[in-house]
A and B are shown apart, each in its own frame.
Chain A
Amino acid sequence: MRIAVVRPQVPFAYGGVEIFSDALVRELQARGHDADSVTVPFKWYPGARVLTQAFLWRLLDLTEADGKRIDMVVATKFPSYLVRHPEKRVWLVHQFRQAYELDRTDLGQFSESPEDRAIRRRVQELDRVGLGEASRLFATSQNVAGRLERSTGLVAEVMPHPAQDIPYRNDGPGDFVLSVNRLDRAKRIDLLLEAAATEPTLRVVVAGDGPDRQRLEQLVSDRGLSGRVRFAGRVPADELADLYATCFASYYAPVDEDFGLGPYESFLSGKPVITATDAGGPLEVVHDGSTGRVVEPEAAAVAEAAVWLRDHPDEAATFGRAGMMVAAEVTWDRAIGRLLS
């Protein structure tokens, strides 16, 4: 089949969705499909620009390319699912969250002005139209599917996507907690840093980059954590595998996260995960006392969980192995079989 995997591209940003959709293209190609990635730059501010930028997708003609028919498009994220195609499948990573659960929070975008309120509603209408047209609709997690049903009434099949393919291994428990995530307020990495501030024996490595980096570095400086917290930045695959292999646990506790690849990567390295009770998608695979620790989103609780896992390496290893069994169930063969069926 000839398949276009479509996604918006925020210039100079590369994160979970980009990793996922690029991997999907590669995996489709590996199974003999003629797959390609189609991206359109996306800027969601100011004012009504979120709508006009979304509308760009509506003008695209992806029924064929260079005289050859495109059999299917697979969209992943707002606003790419506004593209028109007779065989449009959506594997939803997330909607435009500012228009939904992040509205009227610190992470929201829309003010109380009548114009902003109306823009938010228009975004919701776009979702109803774009997602409602899909011939099949999948969501990467129960959390994403639940939000979708509550906001639009549309029902999606839950289908997690596999973690990125890097040389995962387990070198045994090291002496640090690892955070792998985009440095963004919603990812709540500051909670881990505050935990380190309350527990002087805790060491932390933060992998990833993003707009919150300066604030987080300032926090490390303010709390006197410079000797115990290291910012590794964006790391290549081998180095990421090294970090997972040598940490004693990973931390992944965003606010109401859609899905979250982090726990799967950690599990594939045999490492347990620390998350928070309000983390959303990760809670579907991270279970307290089974595959990791689930604690209240408070620094002291995160610190306690980390110290416990560090000081109980046998239990931590058991949690990691249990997690690995969960992650091993999520394969590209199964996912692509469902996606194309």
Chain B
Amino acid sequence: MKVALFSPMPPERSGIADYSALLLPSLRERADVVVVKRGTKKPPRGTDLCVYHIGNNPEAHGWIVEALRRTPGVVVLHDFVLHHLIAGLTIGRRDGHGYLDAMEREGGVVGRLLGHAVLDKRIPPLWENRPEDFHLAGEVLDLATGLVVHSRYVHDRARATAYSGPIWIVPHPAFPVPDLAAADVGGEPLFGSFGNVNASKRIPQLLEAFAQERRRHEGSALLLVGATSPGFDLDRRLQRLGLDGTGLVREGYVDERRLWQLMIAAHVHVSLRSPTMGETSGTAIRALSLGRPLIVSDAGWFSELPDEVALKIPVDDREVSTLTAALELLATRPDVREAMGVAASDLARREHAVERVAERYVAAFEQAAGGGAVADAVLTEVSEAAADVGIAPGSDEATEIARRLAEVQLGD
């Protein structure tokens, strides 16, 4: 079976490029996978199935959506919210009408009016401050003959839009852990947060909670790794909380090697997120691979992590106090950290192993490529047999047969 894969690939700097590169060798052991050159809009000759990796970045995924428009296929939906992508494909190409149409399609007249307000710069861009309210995934879902998603959360959100095609939930693969020494960073324990430093990573709440925790445990430290998002005044916050002197270790954007060294150094990984775009966190997956306990937001994909590996913090008005309690628990109970770490490693090996993930991908590809013909063959034979013995369409007996077919997933 020949699969044409439309995805960003290294040296492009994107999480999805790294993701595809990690999986590709294992996919190729199981199927004839051809990586389509960036910008190509047609699949190679003889392709049985086109697979499109789509995330929320128009630079990385705009050309992939254009290819999907020409040849529908299976979409690997890395983010459910695609507002930024669609804005880039419309407003970014001076196609304001396209943006208005997308907004109207999802939000009706109100959506269109809001779109006008964005175009007229009367309100801030919705993809920056209200993306979760207008996901704009409709066109992509319409074109997708099947979806691969990484979480039940995205599965359910897709179904909520009335998407009726097949959906396969395939876990994110675990990255192989490089053989590196931990970075020399103090702190007992050392909490680490990795990724952009901004409000949606709940950094304000994390800083407040850590400041409270540190009043009781002076030895603990917080490592913040990642670029500070524009407009996020980290220094002022640190000063206000008294974290500008000790207790906080700051590293900006770091290369892959340094990132791993810092991740290895952290005893506990904090991976908070709200609002969520439905994405899976690559850094949280790395924490699992490293066997580190996690503190996460109780939202989206993060909620689906087993309780054994992650303390989940509800995003509510008690968020800071709950987060403080979680930090204190893991600061004072190395046995709990140890148990959670072992569970994290087990989960990474069991659910996120590259070979296992690749097998599930290829299962999805094979069902997507041939499943329709097979379903037709089954339904034809069953319905002919039913008709032969006088079972009429719509009768109770036919309904019963349909129910039984659906039970064993032969009914679609």
Contacts and interface: CB of A to CB of B under 8 A. Distances in A.
B378 A118 contact: no
Contact of A116 (B49, B370, B378, B404): B370
B409 A125 contact: yes
A44 interface: no
A117 B404 contact: no
B381 A48 contact: yes
B405 A122 contact: no
Interface in A38-85: 47-49, 51-52, 54-55, 58-59, 82, 84
Interface string B346-378: 000000000000000001001101110110011
Contacts of B378: 48, 51-52, 55
Contacts of B369: 114, 117-118
Contacts of B363: 121, 124
B181 interface: no
Contacts of A126: 408-410
A321 interface: no
Nearest to B397: A59
Interface string B28-47: 00000000000000000000
Q: How extensive is the interface on chain A, given as a class?
A: 20 to 34
A284 interface: no
A29 B382 CA distance: 36
A113 B49 CA distance: 12
A1 interface: no
B401 interface: yes
A161 B370 CA distance: 38
Given A58-B404, A129-B409, A117 B370 contact: yes
Contacts of B377: 47-48, 115
B374 A55 contact: no
A125 B370 contact: no
B308 interface: no
A258 to B, nearest CB: 22
A112 B366 CA distance: 10
Contacts of B109: none
Nearest to A115: B370
B408 A117 contact: no
Given A113-B370, A114-B370, A120-B366, A52 B381 contact: yes
Contacts of B48: 114
Interface in A100-148: 112-122, 124-126, 129-130
Interface in A275-310: none
A48 B408 CA distance: 14
B1 interface: yes
B380 to A, nearest CB: 9
Interface in B398-412: 401, 404-405, 407-410
A114 B404 contact: no
A119 B410 contact: no
A51 B374 contact: yes
Given A52-B381, A59-B401, A129 B370 contact: no
Interface of B: 1, 48-49, 363, 366-367, 369-371, 373-374, 377-378, 381-382, 401, 404-405, 407-410
21 contacts: A48-B377, A51-B374, A51-B410, A52-B381, A55-B410, A58-B405, A58-B408, A82-B408, A113-B1, A114-B48, A114-B366, A114-B369, A117-B1, A117-B369, A118-B367, A118-B370, A118-B373, A118-B374, A121-B367, A122-B410, A126-B408
